[in-house]
């Protein structure tokens, strides 16, 4: 990566760190200085990591809109949802999980999932991986899905 590209990418990351929504979107839309929305800084964090860590839900919305990576991992093996979970930023967790694309089973280098490091009950509820329902699973509340004969 050239020095110029590094500067362009870091403008985006810095805007995400500070929660500067207008600047962030302007950097993404700048056709002259194309930014890599998933670029990592010197410590291996993306703009999405910093937005999640710092509780900037508006930044997360913009990054999701422009298809930033949601499961990109840093050197600790953590995706952005780990950062939001560790800092207990429930609104950020909610936004990330609502995409339906967050890998909640991902483990960091310490073998922990986002659920393991979440502090509040509200955060933990959002981070429970959803069960996969197969055609063999029965829904007891659905009379059409029961082998019982009444």
96: domain CATH number?
A: 1.25.40.20
The mean pLDDT of 46-52, rounded to a whole number, is 98
Question: pLDDT higher for 2 or 10?
Answer: 10
Domain annotation covers residue 148: no
pLDDT digits (tens, 9 = 90+) for 60-116: 999 999 999 999 999 999 999 999 999 999 999 999 999 999 999 999 999 999 999
Residue 54 is predicted with a pLDDT of: 98
User: 101: burial class by Cβ within 10 Å (0-12, 13-18, 19+)?
Assistant: exposed
Is the residue at 80 inside a domain? yes
Q: Containing domain of residue 33, as a range?
A: 3-134
Task: Please name which of 78, 84, 124, 133 lies closest in space to residue 103, comparing C-alpha atoms.
Answer: 78
pLDDT digits (tens, 9 = 90+) for 7-47: 889 999 999 999 999 999 999 999 999 999 999 999 999 99
Number of domains in the chain: 1
């Amino acid at each position: 990566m050239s020095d110029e590209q590094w500067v362009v990418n870091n403008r985006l990351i810095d805007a995400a760190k500070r929660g500067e929504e207008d600047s962030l979107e302007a950097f993404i839309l700048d056709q002259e200085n194309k930014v890599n929305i998933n670029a990592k800084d010197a410590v291996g964090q993306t703009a999405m990591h910093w937005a999640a860590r710092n509780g900037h839900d508006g930044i997360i919305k913009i990054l999701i809109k422009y298809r930033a990576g949601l499961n990109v991992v840093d050197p600790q093996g953590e995706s952005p949802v780990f950062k939001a979970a560790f800092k207990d930023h429930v609104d950020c967790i909610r936004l990330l999980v609502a995409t339906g694309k967050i890998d909640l089973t991902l483990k960091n280098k310490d073998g922990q999932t986002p659920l393991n490091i979440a502090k509040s009950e509200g955060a933990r509820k959002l981070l429970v991986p959803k069960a996969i329902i197969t055609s063999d699973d029965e829904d007891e509340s659905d009379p059409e899905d029961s082998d019982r004969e009444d």
